[in-house]
Amino acid sequence: MITFDDVVKVYPGGSTAVDHLTVELPTGKLTALVGPSGCGKTTSLRMINRMVNPTSGRVLIDGQDVSQQDEAKLRRGIGYVIQSAGLFPHRTVLDNVATVPVLVGKTRREARTAALELLDRVGLSPEFAKRYPAQLSGGQQQRVGVARALAADPPIMLMDEPFSAVDPVVRGQLHAEFLRLQNDLGKTIAMVTHDIDEAIKLGDKVAVFRQGGILAQFGTPQELLEKPADDFVAEFVGRDRGLRSLSFDSAASLPVQPVSSQPDLELDDAGRPVRWRSAGDLGGVFTASDSLRVVTDLAISSPVGIAVRVDEQGKADGVVRHHDLVDHLLERRR
């Protein structure tokens, strides 16, 4: 657990970067720090590994005040990933990843063997090991950056805009891979981003900062979307937050009508839905494990205004109409 205890950072010019921040980032979870530029999110992140020291207040890791620890040793135990990866251009990919293990006293050979495994883990084939960072694409560099941060198997990782230097398509891939990785590893992660969508997508918890280094809201993504603390957060989260918050609701509790109520739905011999007899294309189906957002999308885009649910075998086992969905949402809000 990373604890900020009434932390203030005032820069020499007199500008306040972080204003009385008190927050706890839970162990094993990813906490996204998000906000407009100049809101103190990066400063807060950098106080965790003492790249910045607080003017007052304390930062604790598992109850230990970081200011009492040797800077270099502290940092070697915390993974760090930054925008465009910050890879060392003069070292091969393999030696970049091996950096911290070598620093903490592993032999070069050991460190390289471990580094090779890590490359595989972040989805880079061994042929990249001997290359230099300049020979990689942005997405590949970012993968190496993550591998490098993981190399010493630190319990904590700090990530500063880790995915902002790559194009949206690659970013989507990296997000997916990263979530999978974090599922396996369960690191305590603090990640700075200016992109609220990224924060909501990746964060277990989200801390929204406003200008002047003030924490505007701290909560789960769903809390942020459904109950923004104030106008600033509501504005920052965006207009379509109602629709987006549906991503966090399961369709399991959604009542469905029996398939037999819709003779217009054509089924094959195995009971799988094929098409609407009157309107054609089905447009897709959902299962009980999908989110309400998927169901809503299907209902809206369906030519007859009906979303079809299937079971694990793909057999149609229910239908949901526009107004059933709206009724359910109204019910849920109560």
Partner 1 sequence: MNFSYLFDPEHWELGVPGGFPQLILSHLGYSALGLLLGVIIALPVGLYIGHTGRGSFLAINAGNAGRSLPTLGLLMLMVTLLGLGLLPVLIALTVLVVPPILTSTYAGMRAVDHGVVDAAKGMGMRPLQVLFRVEFPMALPVIMGGFRSAALQVIATATVAASVGLGGLGRLLIDGLAVNDYSRVLAGAVVVAVLAVALDLILALVQRWVVSPGLSGRRVRRATAAT
Partner 2 sequence: MIQYLQNNYEVVLTALQQHVWLALLPVLLGFAIALPVGYLAVRFTWLYHPLVNVCGVLYSIPSLALFVFLPVLLGTKVLSPINIVVALTIYTVALLARTVADGLRSVDPLITQAATAMGYRRFGRLINVELPVALPVILAGLRVATVANISLVSVGALIGVGGLGQLFTRGFQLFYLEPILVGIILSVLLAGIADLVIVLIQRAVTPWARFQRGGAA
Q: Please state the closest distance from residue 277 (CB atom) to partner 1, in A.
A: 57
Q: How far apart are CA 322 and CA 189, in angstroms?
A: 40
The Cα 70–Cα 308 span in angstroms is: 59
Binding mask 136-155 for partner 2 (x = CB under 8 A): ------------x-------
Chosen from partner 2, partner 1, none, partner binding at 276 (C-beta under 5 to 8 Å by type)? none
Q: Which residue stretch of 68-76, 247-255, 295-303, 306-314 sits at the interface with partner 2 (rule: CB under 8 A)?
A: 68-76
**Minimum distance from CB of 35 to partner 2 (Å)?**
20
| 128 sits near partner 2 (criterion: CB under 8 A) | no
Q: Which is nearer to partner 1, 42 or 262 (CB)?
A: 42
Handedness of CA 195, 118, 181, 188 (dihedral sign): negative
| Contact pick of 106, 194, 293, 315 for partner 1 (by CB under 8 A) | 194
Q: Are 213 and 39 in contact (CB under 8 A)?
A: yes
Least gap, CB of 31 to partner 1 (angstroms): 17
Residue 48 contacts residue 158 (beta carbons within 8 Å)? yes
Closest distance between partner 1 and the C-beta of residue 40, in Å? 7
For the chain, how big is the Rg over CA atoms in Å?
A: 24
Tracing tokens 């084939």 back to the chain, one arrives at 125
Tokens of residue 206, six digits: 């989200």
CA–CA distance, 17 with 97 (Å, rounded to integer): 32
Locate all alpha helices (DSSP H) within the chain, ordered by sequence: 41-48, 71-76, 93-97, 99-103, 108-121, 138-150, 168-185, 196-202, 221-226, 231-237, 241-245, 292-301, 322-333
73 binds, among partner 2, partner 1, none (CB under 5 to 8 A by kind): partner 2
Judged by CB under 8 A, the number of residues near partner 1 is 13
Under the binding rule (CB under 8 A), the answer on residue 163 touching partner 2 is: no
CB 152 within 8 A of CB 77: yes
- Per-residue burial over 144-174, b if 16 or more Cβ lie within 10 Å, else e, is bbbbbbbbbebebbbbbbbbbbbeeebbeeb
Could you please report the per-residue DSSP string of 307-328? EEEE-TTS-EEEEEEHHHHHHH
Give the three-class secondary structure for 99.
Answer: helix
Partner that binds at residue 135, options partner 2, partner 1, none, CB closer than 5 to 8 Å by kind: partner 2
78 sits near partner 2 (criterion: CB under 8 A) = yes
| Cβ at position 230, least distance to partner 1 in Å | 21
Of 20-49, binders to partner 1 (CB under 8 A) are 35, 37-43
CB 286, CB 310: distance < 8 Å: yes
> x/- contact string, 133-172, with partner 1 (CB under 8 A)?
----------------------------------------
For partner 2, the binding residue among 86, 138, 155, 271 (CB under 8 A) is 86
Question: Closest separation between CB of residue 11 and partner 1, Å?
Answer: 6
CB atoms within 10 A of CB 14: 6
- Residue 80 touches partner 2, criterion: CB under 8 A: yes
Q: Which range of residues in 100-108, 166-174, 258-266, 267-275 is near partner 2 by CB under 8 A?
A: 100-108
Task: Note the residues at the interface with partner 1 (CB under 8 A).
Answer: 11, 15, 17, 35, 37-43, 192, 194
Task: Note the residues at the interface with partner 2 (CB under 8 A).
Answer: 49, 51, 71-78, 80, 82-92, 99-100, 103-104, 132, 134-135, 148, 158
